[in-house]
Structure 1
Amino acid sequence: MTPEQNDLMCRVEGGAPMGRVMRQVWLPACMSEEIAEPDSAPVRVRLLGENMVAFRDTSGRVGILDEQCPHRRASLYYGRNEGCGLRCLYHGWKFDVDGNAVDMSSEPAGAKLRESMRTRAYPVQESGGFVWVWMGDPAAPAPFMPPVWSAAPDERIAIVKMHAACNWAQVLEGAIDSAHSSSLHSTNMPTATDVSGSTATDSQWLRPSADKSPRLQVDRTPYGFRYAAIRTPIRDPGTQDYIRTTLYIAPFTVMIPPTDRYKLIQMLVPIDDENCMFYWIAWHETQGISAQAWRSFCGAVPGEDVDPVTFEKVRNARNNYLQDRAAMKAGDFTGIYGIPAQDMAMWESMGPLADRSEDRLGSSDKAIFEFRKLALSMASAAAEGRVPNLPGFTARDAPSFEQLVPKTVDWRDVGKPAA
């Protein structure tokens, strides 16, 4: 890629074409639990370089407003959440979830300004443990499609949230890179001879293959693309393949192969050009994992591993991700606790916005190559004023899967939903 192509694909701030692409879909603004109670403290939300504030009012309605008060630009984050509105501390102006000024205590009762004053309010939906925001044309939001995991009961949905100090695209490229898991995460995903698929314990995902160089096959789909990483299994290598399929759901979602206990999806949401929010959802309709257990497994417990407000990591570049070289000598591959922190060390070490003109891609990077082609086509369309088609993922689409498959079976035919 040229530096110009890299910027076109990655940058989202202002009028950047990829930012326009992102505005064609509903974006996760925060977790519902961050504003769980009516009149609780508001939270800051930053997406695509814009600062907002989310809050739940007295009646339980959720609103997302421009962070700056339209009066004198003070931050509403410090405001009082009371009486079905968010009140600015500076002069007492209060705005409801729709952006209407419902009180302007510093203005006389008959002031004409009272009749028209409002602030920018964004369309909001709440589903699957998230508050979703529409940042495109406020008059024409796309129909909201509940996320695939919202079909599971709330208690079987577990969410990890973690700040990544780098551009969203290099995080996404990590999510669709099946080959890296066999090395970087080999301590967490060890080979086991007595399993037939990814088998989750409290501390590891056991795998039936030691093959570190998967063969990749990629197919475009209406929602993005789907690819298979084909590995040689330990048992019956002459008649079976170990296949793991991953879905890229444009523009920022990746459904990765499940375990025997839960399904997995990641959202890599742009904060600005050099930061993104990493969400990792584990869910299952009948099994699942508790939120506490999932966060502990990932090394992402708020208040212990991540800041409970900003979700910045305790293990970060400033302290070398608390890498333990003694543990490495004792057999731990990375010496870094938790799959997300291991990934973050790699992603952030590329710099805040990676220079892809220096990359040397190999055969295991077919999905990376496909993503770059697709992302560039979406951004190029937006740059030319054409709205890219982003249909999303539905129950009609084949989900990700991982399993041993006879060599005579085409991976494209595995995991299809019932007609």
Structure 2
Amino acid sequence: MTPQQNDLLCRVEGDSPMGKIMRRHWMPVCMSEEVAEPDCTPLRARLLGENMVVFRDTGGRIGVLDELCPHRRASLAFGRNEECGLRCLYHGWKFDVNGQAVDMSSEPVDAKLRDSMRTRSYPACEAGGFVWAWMGDPEHPLPFDPPVWTKAPDDKIAIVKVHAECNWAQVLEGSIDSAHSSSLHSSNMPTAVDVANSTATDSQWLRPSADKSPRLEIERTPYGFRYAAIRKPIHDAEKQDYVRTTSFIAPFTVMIPPTDQYNLIQMLVPIDDVNCMFYWIAWHETKGISTDAWRKFCDAIPGVDVDPVTFRKVRNINNNYQQDRAAMKAGDFTGIKGIPTQDMAMWESMGPIADRSDDKLGSSDRAIFEFRKIMLSQVKDATNEAPPKGYYNRDLFSFEGMVSKDADWREVPSPYAAAS
């Protein structure tokens, strides 16, 4: 990639072409649990370089507003969330969830400004444990498409949230890279001779293959692409392959292969050009994993491993991710606790925005090629009014397991086929 192409791929702030692509999708602003109670503490949020404040009003409605009061630009995050509105502390101006001023304490009761004053509000909704906002044309938001994990009941959806101090694209390229898991995460995803598929325990995902160089096959789709990472299994390698499929849902979502207990999806949401929020959702319609257990598995417990408000990591680049060299000598591959933090160490070590002009890519990077081609193609059509690639098709699924050498992984039946 040229430096110019790299900028097109990575930069999302202001009028950047990739930012325009992002604004044609509903964006996850925060987890619903962060603004769980009516009249709760307002929450700062930042997406695509824009600062917002999120609150739940007295009636339980969600509001997503520009963080700064339109009067004198003080932060509404310090405001009073009361009586169905958010009141600025500076002069008492108060706004409802739609951005309409409902009180202006410092202005005369007959001031015409009272009727016309508004602040910017973003159309918002809730689904699947998240607050979503529309950052595009406020007059013409596209219909909200419920994400695939809303098939599961709320108590079968678990979310991990971690701040990444680097650009969104290098985080996403890590999510669609199947080959790295066999090395970077090998202590968390070890080979086991007595399992037939990815088997989740309290602390590991056991795999029926020791193959570290998967063969990749890619299929373009309306939402992006999906691909199969085909590995040699431990048993009956002459008759079957161990296949793990991953789906890229443009522009920032990756559905990775499941375990025997839960499905897995990641959203790599741009905060700005050089920061990203990493969300990892585990869900299942009947089995699943609890939120507490999921965060413990990922070593991403708020208040222990990440800040409970900003979700910045305790183990970070400033303390070398608390890498334990003694543990490495004793057999741990990375010496870094937690799958997400292992990934963060790699992603953030590339710098705020990775320089792709000097990449030396190999055959295991076919999904990376495909992602870059698709997104750069999308950028060329940034002003096109046609629906963009992406959207959360509720029949999406990923697969992992044994496939006969005579079969085609593309024809593995969807678990939702009978219901559709």
Q: Same fold (TM over 0.5)?
A: yes
1:6-405 → structure 2 map (5 Å cutoff): 6-382=6-382, 389-397=388-396, 399-405=397-403
Secondary structure, aligned partner of 2:136: coil
CA distance in 1, matches of 2:42, 2:172: 29
Deviation at 1:146, TM superposition (A): 1.0
After superposition, the C-alpha distances for 1:260-295 in whole angstroms (9 at most, x for unaligned) are 000000000000000000000000000010000000
Deviation at 1:402, TM superposition (A): 0.1
Deviation at 1:393, TM superposition (A): 3.3
CA distance in 2, matches of 1:235, 1:391: 37
Deviation at 1:87, TM superposition (A): 0.3
Secondary structure, aligned partner of 2:282: strand
CA distance in 2, matches of 1:126, 1:418: 27
Aligned-pair identity (%): 74
Deviation at 1:385, TM superposition (A): 5.2
Deviation at 1:379, TM superposition (A): 1.1
Deviation at 1:381, TM superposition (A): 1.4
After superposition, the C-alpha distances for 1:197-256 in whole angstroms (9 at most, x for unaligned) are 000000000000000000000010000000000000000010010000000000000000
After superposition, the C-alpha distances for 1:89-125 in whole angstroms (9 at most, x for unaligned) are 0000000000010000000101111110010110001
Secondary structure, aligned partner of 1:233: coil
Q: 1:264 to 1:314 in 2, by over 3 A?
A: same
After superposition, the C-alpha distances for 1:119-170 in whole angstroms (9 at most, x for unaligned) are 0110001010000000000000010011111111111100000000000000
Secondary structure, aligned partner of 2:197: coil
Structure 2, unmatched stretches of 5+, are: none
Deviation at 1:54, TM superposition (A): 0.2
CA distance in 1, matches of 2:85, 2:334: 48
Is the Cα contact below 8 Å between 2:151 and 2:394 reproduced in 1? no
CA RMSD of aligned residues (A): 1.0
After superposition, the C-alpha distances for 1:5-59 in whole angstroms (9 at most, x for unaligned) are 0000110000000000000010000000000000010101100000000000001
Which letter maps to 2:417? A
Is the Cα contact below 8 Å between 2:146 and 2:394 reproduced in 1? no
Which letter maps to 1:60? G
CA distance in 2, matches of 1:2, 1:386: 27
Q: Which residue of 1 aligns with 2:410?
A: 412
CA distance in 2, matches of 1:393, 1:385: 20
After superposition, the C-alpha distances for 1:304-359 in whole angstroms (9 at most, x for unaligned) are 00000000000100000010000000000000000000000000000000000010
Q: 1:206 to 1:228 in 2, by over 3 A?
A: same
Deviation at 1:408, TM superposition (A): 0.5
CA distance in 1, matches of 2:150, 2:363: 36
Is the Cα contact below 8 Å between 1:400 and 1:415 reproduced in 2? no
CA distance in 1, matches of 2:271, 2:147: 20
Deviation at 1:415, TM superposition (A): 3.3
Which letter maps to 2:8? L
- TM-score, normalised by the number of residues in structure 1: 0.98
Secondary structure, aligned partner of 1:6: helix
Secondary structure, aligned partner of 1:44: strand
Deviation at 1:388, TM superposition (A): 5.6
After superposition, the C-alpha distances for 1:46-80 in whole angstroms (9 at most, x for unaligned) are 00000000000001000000000000000000000
Is the Cα contact below 8 Å between 2:146 and 2:392 reproduced in 1? no
After superposition, the C-alpha distances for 1:366-390 in whole angstroms (9 at most, x for unaligned) are 00000000010011211x5555622
- TM-score, normalised by the number of residues in structure 2: 0.98
Which letter maps to 1:400? S
Deviation at 1:394, TM superposition (A): 1.5
Is the Cα contact below 8 Å between 2:177 and 2:368 reproduced in 1? yes
CA distance in 2, matches of 1:152, 1:101: 38
CA distance in 2, matches of 1:3, 1:219: 28
Is the Cα contact below 8 Å between 1:199 and 1:259 reproduced in 2? yes
Structure 1's consecutive aligned runs of 4 or more residues displaced over 3 angstroms after TM superposition are 384-388
CA distance in 2, matches of 1:291, 1:385: 40
Is the Cα contact below 8 Å between 1:157 and 1:289 reproduced in 2? yes
CA distance in 1, matches of 2:386, 2:268: 21
Which letter maps to 2:21? V
CA distance in 1, matches of 2:135, 2:338: 33
Which letter maps to 1:294? W
Deviation at 1:296, TM superposition (A): 0.6
Secondary structure, aligned partner of 2:242: strand
